[in-house]
Each structure stands twice: as C-alpha cells, then as structure tokens.
Structure 1
Amino acid sequence: MTDVHVLRVFTDADGRFGNPLGVLLGAADWAADERQELAARLGYSETVFVDDASTGRLQIFTPACELAFAGHPLVGVGALLARTTGRPPRELRPVRLAEPVPARTDHDGTVWVRGAVADAPPWEHERLAGPAEVEGLVPPPLGRSPSAGEDKRWRRTQTWAWQDEAAGEVRARVFAADYGVVEDEACGSASLLLSAYLSRELTIRHGRGSVVRARPLGTDHAEIGGRVVHDGVRQVARMPRP
C-alpha cells in the first residue's frame, strides 16, 4: 500500500472548503505511466509526486495529463514540506520547468508561490455580469463534449465577476473537462493569470467557498497564496507492473 497525503488548498480562514490534493512523498521510483494511472484513479484535480523533498523536485498530474505548472498543487506541497521537514521551502522544482518556483510562507501560515504567466496552463477567462450569474452555472457531466455552437466554457475556463471591484474581490469558478474534472474547486494558475491580466491584487472567492489570493509581479509574473489544511493520509494500492 502507498501513503497519499490528502490536503485541502485555498481554504477559508476557518479551514473550510479548499481544493482537495493528493501528494506522494518519496515517489522517485514511480514511472510516468504509474503516476498518470494513480492520478486518474484518485480523481483529484491534481496529484503531486515528490521525488526529492530536500530539493522540492516533483511532478504534477491531473486525471488526464501532466502539467508543468499548477497553483494549488504547489501551494499544497509547500505547506506539506514545511509540515514534514520542519522548514518552509524557498523553492519548488517541477521537472517540466527550466527554473524553480519561488515559495514562501507568511507568519499566519499562508503559503505563496510565484509563477510565470508563460508557464501556466492556457486557461480561458470569461467575465460574467455578477456573482449570481457565476453561481448559477450548471456544467454538463464529464465526458460529454460540446457540439458545434454550444457553450465551450466547460473545457478549461475561469468564469468570474466582480464581487467588489474597488476592493479587488472576485467571485469565480473554473470548469476543466480538458483536464479530466468537471469543476476545479479552487484554481491557482487561472487566478494567477487573472491577476496578471487585470494588473490587480485580488481576493478570489472560488468554487463553493475557497479563497485564493493573487497579486501581479511586473508584467509577466504573479504570485498566488492561500491556506492549507492537512486531512490525513489515505492508503492506496500500487498497481502491479507487467
């Protein structure tokens, strides 16, 4: 059996909500096909395989594919490595990126990671009239592809509206059928892109009630931060290899 740490990333101040994440530590002997199979079996929007906790070397998989960069997995791993090693990491090293991802932890426990706009997945953004319209969206079941002329927001789009524009408060939801999930409860990379595009520091109420903080850094980088709750360890079977 294999231990999978289960986290909720981008919780609210009371530790509620948050996007579930699976993390395997000491995963260096897991082959790429094993990683993809387990990510699909777990069904979280992402699962992280940490090859080396001392350097932060890792890979990120959705149920459908590998990602070079993703926000909620990196924020979650930053919190988990701080918990397991006793010191917050200063950088993380996704293997598909040429440069490490800077990380930091605030005194209140908020974990931040910095990312390049060019490294984020190619999310679309759709602004709606208000929070009620965002909340009223009903995505189709996974596996049903939009036909010609149908709304394609369900594939990989962050829908959003201002909740309080003056305060930089946003209401958002992400739909991600291209990555093997109907809806991503709290998407860090899409929020990073939104902050960069708007050139605004944002507090984003995401999904059912998760909270993502984002701020632009120059024209081509931004950072995202949030709180993380550890929900324990789940044991899963490792599939036998042929």
Structure 2
Amino acid sequence: MTDYDVLRVFCGPRGGYGNELGVVRDGSVIPDGRDRQALAAKLGFSETVFVDDPERGVVDIYTPSTRLPFAGYPCVGAAWLLDVPELVTPAGVVGTRIDGEFCWIEARPEWAPPRTLRQYASAAEVDDLEVPPPGEWIYAWAWEDEAAGRIRARGFPGRGDGIDEDEATGAAAMQLTHRLGRALNITQGAGSQLLTAPQPGDWIELGGRVVLER
C-alpha cells in the first residue's frame, strides 16, 4: 500500500473536527493519473493530494471521482505539511504562510468549480437540512452574527461518490467571501472553523488550523 499521511484541516479552536485529507508525500510512486484516481477513490477522503515536488510545492489534487485544478482545504493542508512559501497547482500559484496556529493560502475563487451558494434565514435552518440528492454542489449558509462576520455553513457536494457532506470546504468559503466582499469566520459541518479575508485584485485569503492525524 502506498504511504500517505492523514491531516485534519480547518480544526475547531480546541483541535477537534476538521476535514480529513490524504497526502501522498512522494507522488513519484504513482505517476499515472488513472492510478492516482483509483487510490483517491480507495482512500475515500473528500480530497487526496499527491506531492510531485516538495521543495517547489507542486501538488496534484483528486476527489474520489475526479481531478481538481485547485481546492481550498487540500492546499491549506499541503501548505502546512510542506511549509513552503507557495504551492503550484494546475490552476495557478497559491501563496502560503503560517501565522501562529493558523495556516493561510491566497488564491482566486474562480479557480475552483462554481458552487451554488444558498442562503438561509437562520443557523438553525442550516443545521436542520437533510442531505440533498446528487446534483449541484450546494453550499448552505446563514448569518450567525452579521456584524461580526460569523457564518454557519454546510457543504453538500452532490457528486454521488460517497461524500454526502463535506465537513469543511475552503473553495466554497472563498467564493462566498468574494460575493459578500468581507472577511468571514465560518463554522461548517460538525464544528470546523474557516477564516477568510478579501485581498486586492479579487484574491482571497483562506486560513485554518491543521493537525497531523496519522
């Protein structure tokens, strides 16, 4: 079996929750894209990262069913693990930094496939949602405290690949930040925390806590 690390990305304030991420540090052991896709499907994480050049930060990202040019939480996790100043993805170069307990990336919201951003009247409504049938990628959200920029969210990929709900979804958080034009403090899933901030030129900064699970 190929060696890989498991991280939890966007952990809560006490280190719990977060979205599990698989990282194959030596991507050269699986150079073929079809084999990478098969491993990502076997591992079953929302995303799996293959590191093709750890010094330059070149990464390749897969869900259980498809390859992604960019994704938020895999880039945050890989940036924390590799501790490099940038990551190179098929979509573009992602800036990275570690600031205390948070790891940050800076990227463009349009690099990820569009999500359906669906606003609800209250956090309670978001909490009570059932998983929708496969179809569009839905990011359900509501203000918890609009003045403070605090949001309650849940992510439903709608892919039909066994991932009914994403615990933490960086790309969707970036797209919501771009739409609202302000910094956000998002609680997603069971208790994950994502921080975002707009930057000049329509770039978005995305940050969170990362821990090595195994």
TM range (shorter): over 0.9
> Aligned match of 1:124 in 112, 116, 119?
116
Q: Does residue 1:25 correspond to 2:35, yes or no?
A: no
Contact 1:124 1:157 in 2 (8 A): yes
2:41: which partner in 1? 40
TM-score, normalised by the number of residues in structure 2: 0.95
> Aligned match of 2:106 in 100, 114, 126?
114
Contact 1:65 1:179 in 2 (8 A): no
Deviation at 1:122, TM superposition (A): 1.1
Deviation at 1:117, TM superposition (A): 2.1
Letter aligned with residue 8 of structure 1: R
Letter aligned with residue 86 of structure 2: E
Deviation at 1:219, TM superposition (A): 5.1
2:71 & 2:203 partners in 1: Cα distance? 14
Computed over aligned residues only, the root mean square deviation of the Cα atoms, in angstroms, reads 1.3
> Aligned match of 2:84 in 77, 83, 89?
89
Contact 1:196 1:219 in 2 (8 A): no
Runs of at least 4 residues off by over 3 Å: none
Aligned length: 212
Deviation at 1:4, TM superposition (A): 1.2
2:84 & 2:160 partners in 1: Cα distance? 28
Q: How does 1:90-169 map to 2 (within 5 A)?
A: 90-94=85-89, 96-97=90-91, 99-106=92-99, 108-140=100-132, 145=134, 155-169=136-150
1:42 & 1:175 partners in 2: Cα distance? 19
1:163 & 1:100 partners in 2: Cα distance? 33
Letter aligned with residue 58 of structure 1: V
1:223: which partner in 2? 205
1:51: which partner in 2? 52
Identical positions, percent? 43
Gaps of 5+ in 1: 82-87, 146-151, 233-242
Which secondary structure state, in structure 1, belongs to the residue aligned with residue 131 of structure 2? Answer: coil
- Cα distance change on mapping 1:179 and 1:119 into 2, 3 Å: farther
Letter aligned with residue 40 of structure 2: A
Letter aligned with residue 206 of structure 1: Q
Q: Does residue 1:202 correspond to 2:148, yes or no?
A: no
- Cα distance change on mapping 1:14 and 1:209 into 2, 3 Å: same
1:193: which partner in 2? 175
Contact 1:118 1:220 in 2 (8 A): no
Contact 2:138 2:158 in 1 (8 A): no
Contact 1:10 1:211 in 2 (8 A): yes
Contact 2:110 2:175 in 1 (8 A): no
Deviation at 1:138, TM superposition (A): 1.2
1:85: which partner in 2? none
2:59 & 2:65 partners in 1: Cα distance? 17
Contact 1:127 1:160 in 2 (8 A): yes
Gaps of 5+ in 2: none
Which secondary structure state, in structure 1, belongs to the residue aligned with residue 213 of structure 2? Answer: strand
